[in-house]
Amino acid sequence: MSNETTFRARYELDDGYAGGSRPHHFVIQAGDIEDDMTPDDLERLYYEQCEDHMRDHIGCSPARVDEFVEWATSVLTARQEQPK
């Protein structure tokens, strides 16, 4: 979608793993563009909007939390038992 009032923006996540990533889309409103913006300002706006969208819509789902807490507790206990 691209017209006078909106632009359909796209980004992908760089996670360091091989293989392609799924593109993410969102809309930038014409009202977000200020009259005195330079091309550098516009590029910065695009990057900022991509990052904002990512933070608002992509999350992390940790696994093995209970196992980590158990392990970390044993690390702390071992530290406390060491002579100083």
Half-sphere exposure in the Cβ direction for 55 (13 Å, CA): 6
Token pair, residue 63, equals 């696994």
Residue 2 has a pLDDT of 55
pTM greater than the 0.75 cutoff: no
Q: Containing H/E element for 35?
A: none
For 44-76, write each residue's pLDDT tens digit. 999 999 999 999 998 889 999 999 999 999 999
Token pair, residue 21, equals 């990533």
